[in-house]
Chains A and B, each alone.
Chain A
Amino acid sequence: MWKYVVKRLGLALATILIICAITFFAMNAIPGGPFDSEKAPRPEVQRVLEARFHLDQPVWKQFFIYVENAVQGDFGISLKTGRDISSMLWESFSISAKLGGLAMATAIIFGIILGAIAALMRNRWPDRAIIFFTTLFVAVPSFVLATLLLLFFCLKLGWFPVWSMNNPSYLLPILALALYPMSYITRLTKTSMLDVLNQDYIRTARSKGVAEIKIIFKHALRNALIPVITYVGPMTAYIITGSLVVETIFTIGGLGSKFVTGITNRDYPVIMATTIFLAVIMVTLTLISDLIYKLVDPKIKFD
């Protein structure tokens, strides 16, 4: 077990380092330096500035300086606003984390419930209705869903207020983020639940006279949920990238909309910092879901 944890941890760290390297060198490949302007500063000023930001060092050394600073939480300053990036990251992260966390919880809880219902009522109308809607939702990109929700429920019907810092209304953004992963989890739960319900141990439990409700919760659902755990990693990726557009559409000042603003402004330090930050979150959550997966399923061997 511990051997596996260490190995998996090492892999995650390596992935993060690779992501940092790709991000850093890709950004360095963009032509033009930060002090290129029409009014070039005097050579001595330029030299002082370059020394201050370590631009006089070779690129690989700059990379290690960047990583060292990033580990200590220093991502430099934004080209556009001149503000410290790491404080901006933390500020907007709290909103995004709340939004993303709630969306994930919604997707998992409702996905499992709907999937279980669909499996237990196979080929009856609840199953058909659930499968119809989940098939539909899987085909709707999050930005389309978010825009339509905003248009109809905020602007046309006025059921929900438009987002503001004092009066945050999380429901619609959560819905926009959660419907796709929820539909996916529903289908996943349904297939694995049907699979489990056909197993011999369910028949054994039934023939012993175990109550149906106990069979469903204790024997079927618990085993059917194992594949769902593996989906947590991809779901994190989906929700994080989805939050880029959903936050922009609902004008929520979270990490996602900061990232999109950074892209629009070509604010390279912000793009770099946000990419690394989000990538670390994704890799960490994938790692956690992998470890839980191995932990709960005794059939999987540690090698």
Chain B
Amino acid sequence: MRENHNKEFKKNPLSIQIDLSKFTLATDQEKAQQDIMRESTTFWRDGMRKLSKNRLAMASLIVLIFIVILIIIAPSIVPYGYEQMVTVNGVRDKSAQNLAPFTYSELEQEYMDDNGEKLFPHILGTDHLTRDYFIRVIYGTRVSLIVGIFASFIVLLIGLIYGSISGYLGGKADLIMMRFVDIIYSLPDLLMIILFQVVLDQTLAPVISGIPILEKLGTNMISIFIVFGLLYWVSMARLVRGQILSIKENEYILAARSVGADTSRIIRKHILPNCISVIIIATALQIPAAIFTESFLSFIGLGVQAPMPSLGSLANTAREGMQSYPFKLLAPASMICLIVLAFNLLGDGLRDAFDPRLRR
């Protein structure tokens, strides 16, 4: 039968019928090559695996999580408020100025001796206005972190929208939009921030009076966000535009288009997943920069308004008595450094794990 078959095959040299005699059975070893050694991995899972192997980045993440937990739960444990002065039995205790860590004022000591109950210790002592310093540092960290994250979010939002429109439209519109970005980019940003901060501080007050949430935030805090929204989005817009422009030109976009994918599918399935990692990394690195700027502004007296503390304003106030109470300077200062360092290292780790340009 087979012989016949073969002979028949040879009669038709152009036949594409498979000649089975030329094949042998696969050995077990060869079959084993087809086994799935490990689960197929996605971009995210692979990135997370790389990130979890980066010890520095993981340590930073743990530090940041610890700080976040601390600033969330500490205010409900410590029975003092950030603007509350030490009072014993309803009497303001004026002797509680500048207490050393873990000490009590005379009135507090008397109260404890009389009643036998223990008052919550002042972990970092008190400041010159008899306010518990530990809780002020906690609230200062809260304010600095919130400003940093929220400002970065504003930057991300504006930069993403502007950059993707500019990149997607291309041509003349892109040229004009990018000229505008160039102009803002060439302005010295911190000087402009100081200037706007001075101006907005004076002009915002009548605008926000009557809106409780905004009033609580204070003019300086709002103007920090406005200024970030005005100036800092340009580098994000440039980044997003560059990403979209280069991704748009790829063959797989052309391929997707040629098989009939519509614009929204191309953006959702091809452009966004390819540039999102770069955008997330840039945002992660924007947060410490924003915290830096906020603490700088607070330090020169243009940051959040008293009595609300921020790490920068705490460090500035602590300068006056720093020879006698150096820990009051060290506490907010080391908090800023720790947060910025952790975000920097985490951002670097994210870049190493997720940036497609660094992949091999």
Contact = CB atoms under 8 A, between A and B. Distances in A.
B337 A144 contact: yes
Contact of B188 (A11, A136, A237): A237
Contact of A144 (B194, B195, B315): B315
Quick one: which of B192, B195, B322 has the most chain A CB within 10 A?
Answer: B195
Contact of A248 (B300, B322, B336, B341): B300
Interface stretch (A48-56, A68-76, A88-96, A278-286): A278-286
A29 B199 contact: yes
Given A29-B199, A263-B194, A151 B329 contact: yes
Contacts of B300: 244-245, 248, 260, 263
Given A26-B199, A30-B199, A18 B187 contact: yes
A19 interface: yes
B203 interface: yes
Interface of B: 183, 186-192, 194-196, 198-199, 202-203, 288, 292, 295-296, 299-302, 312, 315-316, 319, 322-323, 326, 329, 333, 336-337, 340-341, 344-345
A241 B337 contact: no
A-B pairs, 7 with minimum CB distance: A139-B341, A139-B340, A241-B190, A144-B333, A26-B199, A15-B186, A30-B202
A264 interface: yes
Given A22-B195, A263-B302, A139 B337 contact: yes
Interface of A: 11, 15, 18-19, 22-23, 26-27, 29-31, 135-136, 138-141, 143-144, 147-148, 151, 155-156, 237, 240-241, 244-245, 248-249, 260, 263-264, 266, 268, 271, 275, 278-279, 282-283, 286
Contact of A143 (B192, B199, B296): B296
Contacts of B340: 139-141
Contacts of A138: 344
Contact of A15 (B187, B198, B288, B319): B187
Quick one: which of A23, A26, A139, A264 has the most chain B CB within 10 A?
Answer: A139
B202 A141 contact: no
Given A244-B300, A278-B188, A266 B198 contact: yes
B341 A241 contact: no
A248 B319 CA distance: 11
B322 A139 contact: no
Contact of B319 (A29, A141, A249, A271): A249
